[in-house]
Amino acid sequence: MTTASNLQAAPLDRAAVHQSILQIADALIAFLRSADKPSVRDLPGAALFLTHLGRASGQAKHREAAAEAVALSGDLVARVPMRLALYGGLAGMVLPMAHRERLGIADDGFDLDGIDEVLMEGVDPGVTPHFDLISGVVGLGAYFLERLPAPAAREGVRRVIHRLHDTAEHDGHGMRWLTAPDLIPAAKRAITPLGKYDLGMAHGITGVAAFLALALLNGADRDPAEAMLRETVRWLMALERADGSQGAYGTMVDPRQPEAMAPGRAAWCYGDPGVAAALLLASRALGDDALLHRAHALARHSAAFADAQRHRAVDTSLCHGTAGLAHLFRVLGRPADAERWDAETMAMRSPDQGVAGFYFMESHDGVTRRAPDATFLQGAAGVGLVLLSVLDPASDRSWDRLLLLS
């Protein structure tokens, strides 16, 4: 097993990073203009990456391609029925437009006020969708945060907080949310027949904590969000494993065995780095110095654990790959760790595979392969956004609101 002391990636070649960014851009632009038009999955990442690249490069072709991706997104929204979700749905399709508006880019001519009203229907009183970031109510909350300070967005954030409040379990141990059995894939349902307490950022309670912290940092009413955040953090921190041999935080807790956690990993979607990022946000939102100290301690531990788990970072994705770890450690204020994972991302690049050499490890029917993927969370668009930070550490990284990191 790789250890913290022997993860020694080659030094970063900045010229190679720059070349890779341009190759990602060329691949995405070609994809936008191909006969096989991009899908709901592909367009948000392309729009975000090309928007930020256009600002960094100053080149008209990148700015024009970003606008083209946004126009294609608008066309899909107008023509294709879709669910409301942040990933693979309406909220995710239009979030890049809201992001561009916040960046001060000229109006894309899209009715975001109308979209706000549609998405608020998903958090109306009495509606209790799944709570998670990827497909549930927290994901709608992330969109509303991006739309602030629009009045409808403030109301959307308020509604999301109250839907979370109404669907939480709250007792002497703190606040948490159950992932019901019907939301667990059939193949895994027998393992947790009563459901599970998912601990991930992507699908679980860590994501709720990060959202509540960001809501407070963006001016949400302290009541009830502050008490909810304190109780959620209290429940999470009580789970922390002291020895951390399998990670301080696992992936989930079975309600039948509340003292046991499934083994952990080091990633954004699940594991210690994502939890550390959520606790860091919570410490700022609550003005809690003790929690800040604990977040930094977990960040240090998670850096060592990620190195020890190097064999599990099998692709370059934001979700659970090397680019995601690089960005997390940059967010956590650990630039040396971030640079090591940046270098790992470049070392894993395979020029003849994936999209511009970056790939996602896809499993299907027991077969794992390197798959081309252009998306934000799994593919080249997300990698490209991380690499932009390598060339300019002071660059705008607000695109990571999609990950609940800022």
Residue stretches of the annotated binding site for Zn(2+): 269, 319-320
Strand 252-253 relative to strand 360-364, pairing: unpaired
Look at residues 209, 234, 213, 189 and name the one whose alpha carbon lies nearest to residue 132: 209
- Alpha-carbon torsion, ordered 9, 13, 18, 24, to 10 deg: -40
Contacts of residue 291, defined as CB under 8 A and 6 or more positions apart, other chains included, come to: 233, 279, 282, 283
Sign, CA dihedral 151-155-160-165, equals positive
SS3 call for 84: coil
Contacts of residue 145, defined as CB under 8 A and 6 or more positions apart, other chains included, come to: 153, 157, 211, 214, 215, 218, 401
Rounded (to 5) percent helix, strand, coil in the chain = 55, 5, 40
Contact 133, 142 (CB under 8 A): yes
Question: Would you tell me how many other CB atoms lie within 10 Å of the CB of residue 140?
Answer: 29
Contact 46, 31 (CB under 8 A): yes
For the annotated binding site, the residues are: 269, 319-320
Partnered with residue 371 across adjacent β-strands are 360
